[in-house]
Amino acid sequence: MQNIVDALQARTGVPFAIGLPDGSDYRAGPGDPAFTVLFRSDAALLQSFTRGQMGLLESYFDQSVDVEGDFGAALAAGMLSGLDTHGKALTSVENGFHELRYSNQSLAQAKANARAHYGLGDAFYRLWLDDPLMMYTCGYWPEGTQTLEQAQQRKIDHVCRKIQLGRGERFVDVGCGFGGFMFRAWETLGAIGTGINTTTEQVDWLRAEVARRGLDGKLSVREADFRVADGPYDKVVSIGVLEHAGRDQLAAVVQAHADLLKPGGLGMLHFIGHIGPRETDLFIRKHVFPGGWIPGLSDVIVEMERCGLEVLDIENLRRHYALTLDEWARRFELQWSAIQALNPQRFDERFHRVWRTYLVGCAEMFRSPAGYTHLFQIVFGKGNVTRTSYPMSRAHLYDA
């Protein structure tokens, strides 16, 4: 066993310890362990050996494994350890079955997939997202940004500058969430927004909030699948939607974005994307985002070209997402007692462990030197832009 522990430590470069059910423990690396993994049962140990990363994570969710010390360091070490290669054949089969079972091909299943995650209620999300916009996507952290609230406001403003959104223009926010982008775009620019959202709980809340603010006629939300286009609109904003299209629905979702935009109009796709074609991790699909699939940047570009969209600019905000997730994870832990009190049956210890792993793990994933998952913002036009329809430099992004 010591040989195995030493080999893992050599790959990760982090000192750690492992405790076994019989009370024995093993340490590797110099100095005090950054974290200790405690196996509470022989079954958990077997799961980790046979199913690798998934076996270890699911044993942690079931409380037959505990982690003491720096949880982020433990997850970061796991990404470098090679555990994901153990039981890879079993995991691949399960991943393929999951994709078939939760495919977004049908509108009903796509809606159920979205509601499983985003339908947890505004009271839940309000406790740990930014106040008051409740933006559940990567923030923008240029130098001097101090808070999550600033990062999310600056993200929205950054996007508005990118697409040259102006007063009186009609834009559509695909996957509008709790409407934070629409509210700020109206308040700061006077732009008229329509949201598209397939999650009933968010739609109901947002419609009531629009009415409460007296913004009927200025802002609205349509409950519909992302593949159902109306329009056309002057501008299109899509923040955190392509990850939910699914492998076989990517083309249809990108086509809908193109159909939403008037000829000569501008839009932006903001999405998590892989570098190169890769499978989406089973953990994130099985336990967090059913039906989710992370496309490769190249996959998205191909579909955009097929739809007649001109790529104007691509920015990678990977490092910004690590900072955003750090703050979400911190607030989530700080508010866990209040979250649990909302619904103790739904927000139980298993939920706590899954979401803790999701938030902290994704932060480490975006920070990892071995990572291949990034956050892209693609500015595009419908048809070729001219010298007068779009600036000739990026100065407009930073002169504000």
Q: Give the number of residues written for the chain.
A: 400
- Collapse the DSSP code of 318 into the 3-class scheme (helix H, G, I; strand E, B; otherwise coil) and give the result: helix
Burial code (b: 16+ CB inside 10 Å, e: under 16) for 180-194 equals bbbbbbbeebebbbb
160 is catalytic: no
For 105-398, which CATH superfamily applies? Vaccinia Virus protein VP39 (3.40.50.150)
Q: Where are the domains of the chain?
A: 2-86, 105-398
For residue 89, what pLDDT is reported?
Answer: 84
Measured distance CA(343)–CA(349) in Å, rounded: 12
What average pLDDT score do residues 332-354 get? 98
What average pLDDT score do residues 120-149 get? 98
Contact by Cβ (8 Å): 232, 205 = no
Of 277 and 394, the one with more pLDDT = 394
pTM value is 0.95
Fold match, 2-86 / 105-398: no
For residue 259, what pLDDT is reported?
Answer: 97
Average pLDDT, the chain: 95
Share of the chain above pLDDT 70, in %: 99
Other beta carbons less than 10 A from residue 308's beta carbon: 15
Nearest to 280 by CA among 258, 263, 299: 299
For residue 86, what pLDDT is reported?
Answer: 65
Measured distance CA(200)–CA(115) in Å, rounded: 7
Q: Which of 138, 160, 176, 362 is catalytic?
A: 362
CATH class, domain 2-86, is: alpha beta
Whether the pLDDT of residue 2 is over 90: the answer is no
- List, in order, residues 6 or more apart from 136 with CB less than 8 Å away: 118, 125, 129, 177, 178, 240
Report the Cα 302 to chain-centroid distance in Å: 22
Share of the chain above pLDDT 90, in %: 88
Q: What single-letter amino acid sits at 6? A: D
